[in-house]
C-alpha cells in the first residue's frame, strides 16, 4: 500500500463532491445544499482559511483518487453558534451562509492576524471518502495523520468537528477529543449514546488548547503544539519553501510556482539573508570571508530540515504583529 496526499486542484473538486454526495451518512446531511457545495469549494480554494487536499493510493504505475480532506478556520461568533443548541450540520450550514453572503470563514487578513496573536478556531469540515474506504484502518490512520501534519504550526485554540461514521466517533475520542455537552457547556470524555446514535443527529466533538495541555500524551493533542515563528518569512518566501520541501530543482520550483528562474534565485537569497539576520549562527559555517550569505546545497538542506521540525515558519502571519509581540507571552 502506498498512500499520499496533495493539494486539491480545481479539477478535483467535482469528483470529491460526488464522493461526498454518495456517502450514506454525509450525503443526506446536505439536502439541497449539496448543489452549492462545488461552487463553495471552488470559491474557497486558495484562501488561507481553507485547507483542501486529496488522498491517493498507488495502483500499479498510477495513483488513484480515494477522496479528499477539507478544513476551515471560522469566526468566534460562528464557533459559539456551533456550541449552542439546537445543533446543526456544520458543512451544509457553512455552504448556506456563504451562498447568501454571510460567510463564517475568515478572510486571509483575519487568518494572518489571528494566527499571530489570538489563535484560530479550526473546523474539520469533511474527510471525503467512500464508505468502503472508511472501513480501512490504514486509510483512516493516514487521513488522521495527514490532518495533524497539515495543521501543525498554526496557533489553534479550538478544534471542532462532526463524526461521519461510528469509527470516526471512536477515533476522535481515542485521540483526545471530547463530546460537547450542551448543559455543562464543555467537552466531556464520556459519550452520551452509542457511536451509531451520535452520527445520526447533529452533534459537536472536539478539543480546546487547555484540554490538549492536560493530555499531552494523546496523539490528537499534538495539533495544538505551537512555537512563535522566528524568521517571519514573507508569503512569497513561504510558498517557495513549502514547494522546496516536496523536492525539486530551482527550475522545477519555478515551473510549479509559475515564476521565473531568476525570481526563484532572488527569493532564495532573500530567505538566506533573512535567516542570517535573525539567527546569525544558523549559517555560521556558510558565510564567506566578506560575511555575505550565499546559496548552496548545505544551506538549503539545513534550512529545510529545520522547517520540517518547525512548520510554524510556513504558516500565515502578520509580520507587523509578530514584531510588535516579539517579547509578549504566547496567547
Residue 30 lies in a domain: yes
Q: What is the pLDDT at residue 326?
A: 64
Q: What is the pLDDT at residue 291?
A: 43
Q: What is the pLDDT at residue 247?
A: 86
Residue 210 sits in the same domain as residue 113: yes
Residue 219 sits in the same domain as residue 269: no
For 245, phi and psi rounded to 5 degrees? -65, -20
How many residues comprise the chain?
Answer: 331
* Interatomic CA distance for residues 87 and 54, integer angstroms: 29
Residue 132: exposed, middle, or buried by beta-carbon count in 10 A (0-12, 13-18, 19+)?
A: exposed
Q: What is the pLDDT at residue 55?
A: 95
Residue 101 sits in the same domain as residue 193: yes
Residue 189 sits in the same domain as residue 220: yes
Q: What is the pLDDT at residue 1?
A: 62
Residue 256 sits in the same domain as residue 199: no
Q: What is the pLDDT at residue 246?
A: 85
Residue 193 sits in the same domain as residue 261: no
Question: CA torsion 57→58→60→64, rounded to 10°?
Answer: 50
DSSP 234-289: -HHHHHHHHHHTT---HHHHHHHHT--HHHHHHHHHHHHHHHHHH-TTTTGGG--T
Overall domain count for the chain: 2
Residue 45 lies in a domain: yes
Residue 117 sits in the same domain as residue 19: yes
Cell of 90: 456544520
Q: What is the pLDDT at residue 289?
A: 40
Residue 200 sits in the same domain as residue 144: yes
What domain range is 36 assigned to?
Answer: 3-224
* Interatomic CA distance for residues 148 and 135, integer angstroms: 20
Place of cell 495541555: 213
Residue 175 sits in the same domain as residue 272: no
Among 199, 224, 249, the domain-final residue is 224
- pTM score, whole prediction: 0.90
What is the domain-level CATH number for residue 114?
A: 3.40.630.30
Report the chain's terminal Cα–Cα distance, integer Å. Answer: 41
Residue 160 sits in the same domain as residue 188: yes
Residue 254 lies in a domain: yes
Among 202, 224, 246, the domain-final residue is 224
Residue 214 sits in the same domain as residue 245: no
Spatial CA neighbour of 239 closest among 7, 3, 4: 7
- Helices 297-309 and 235-244 cross at an angle (nearest 10°) of 100
Tens-binned pLDDT, residue by residue, of the chain (331 aa) = 699 999 999 999 999 999 999 999 999 999 999 999 999 999 999 999 999 999 999 888 899 999 999 999 999 999 999 999 999 999 999 999 999 999 999 999 999 999 999 999 999 999 888 878 877 889 988 998 999 999 999 999 999 999 988 988 998 998 899 999 999 999 999 999 999 999 999 999 999 999 999 988 887 889 999 999 999 999 999 999 999 998 889 999 999 899 999 999 999 999 999 999 999 999 875 544 434 544 467 889 999 999 999 999 999 999 888 888 765 544 4
Spatial CA neighbour of 140 closest among 67, 62, 88, 236: 67
Q: What is the pLDDT at residue 215?
A: 86
CB atoms within 10 A of CB 248: 13
Q: What is the pLDDT at residue 290?
A: 39
Residue 331 lies in a domain: no
Residue 9 sits in the same domain as residue 67: yes
Amino acid at each position: 500500500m502506498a498512500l499520499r496526499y496533495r493539494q486539491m486542484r480545481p479539477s478535483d473538486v467535482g469528483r470529491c463532491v460526488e464522493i461526498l454526495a454518495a456517502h450514506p451518512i454525509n450525503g443526506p446531511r446536505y439536502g439541497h445544499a449539496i448543489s452549492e457545495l462545488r461552487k463553495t469549494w471552488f470559491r474557497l480554494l486558495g484562501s488561507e482559511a481553507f485547507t483542501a487536499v486529496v488522498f491517493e493510493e498507488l495502483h500499479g504505475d498510477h495513483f488513484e483518487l480515494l477522496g479528499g480532506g477539507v478544513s476551515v478556520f471560522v469566526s468566534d461568533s460562528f464557533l459559539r453558534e456551533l456550541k449552542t443548541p439546537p445543533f446543526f450540520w456544520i458543512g451544509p450550514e457553512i455552504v448556506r451562509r456563504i451562498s447568501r453572503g454571510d460567510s463564517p470563514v475568515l478572510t486571509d487578513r483575519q487568518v494572518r492576524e489571528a494566527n499571530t496573536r489570538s489563535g484560530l478556531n479550526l473546523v474539520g469540515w469533511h474527510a471525503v471518502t467512500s464508505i468502503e474506504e472508511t472501513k480501512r484502518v490504514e486509510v483512516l490512520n493516514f487521513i488522521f495523520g495527514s490532518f495533524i501534519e497539515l495543521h501543525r504550526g498554526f496557533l489553534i485554540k479550538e478544534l471542532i468537528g462532526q463524526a461521519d461514521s461510528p469509527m470516526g466517533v471512536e477515533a476522535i475520542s481515542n485521540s483526545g477529543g471530547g463530546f460537547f455537552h450542551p448543559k455543562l457547556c464543555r467537552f466531556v470524555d464520556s459519550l452520551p449514546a452509542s457511536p451509531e446514535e451520535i452520527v445520526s443527529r447533529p452533534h459537536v466533538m472536539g478539543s480546546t488548547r487547555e484540554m490538549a495541555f492536560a493530555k499531552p500524551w494523546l496523539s490528537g493533542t499534538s495539533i495544538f503544539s505551537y512555537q512563535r515563528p522566528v524568521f517571519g518569512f514573507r508569503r512569497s518566501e513561504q510558498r517557495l519553501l513549502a514547494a522546496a520541501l516536496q523536492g525539486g530543482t530551482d527550475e522545477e520550483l519555478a515551473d510549479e510556482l509559475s515564476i521565473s528562474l531568476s525570481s526563484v534565485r532572488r527569493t532564495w537569497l532573500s530567505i538566506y539573508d533573512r535567516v542570517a539576520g535573525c539567527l546569525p549562527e544558523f549559517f555560521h559555517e556558510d558565510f564567506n570571508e566578506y560575511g555575505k550569505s550565499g546559496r548552496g546545497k548545505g544551506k538549503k538542506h539545513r534550512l529545510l530540515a529545520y522547517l520540517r521540525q518547525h512548520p510554524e515558519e510556513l504558516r500565515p502571519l502578520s509580520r507587523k504583529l509578530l514584531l510588535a509581540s516579539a517579547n509578549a507571552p504566547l496567547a
